[in-house]
Amino acid sequence: MLQALLIFELLYHIIGTENSEILPNRVERKDTMKKITLLLSILFIILTFAGAGYVLYNGGKVNAGYVVVPMVFALISIVSYRNRK
């Protein structure tokens, strides 16, 4: 749980809002969550391709979960991003 909070604090810092700042209205909160889901989507897509490269580099002898797990999280975050539009 603490790790998730640290990740969200880091993402708030990256997109330009202060960690202690309370977002004044719902529109800014929605925009912030939209940016966070977009960043997570990009991160998981990169991890998916890195996992695919790792599996191919090892000749398919390692577990395919290195590709599938980040792909599932990427799909979840992409769907979440599209629902926030």
pTM over 0.85? The answer is: no
What is the mean predicted confidence (pLDDT) over 43-52? 95
Q: List the domain boundaries for the chain.
A: 26-85
Contacts of 36 (CB under 8 A, 6+ apart): 8, 11, 12, 15
| 69 sits in which H/E element | helix 65-83
The answer to whether 40 and 77 are in contact (CB under 8 A) is: yes
CB 34 within 8 A of CB 81: yes
Per-residue pLDDT tens digits for 53-80: 999 999 989 999 999 999 999 999 999 8
pLDDT 10s digits, 21-41 = 554 566 677 788 888 999 999
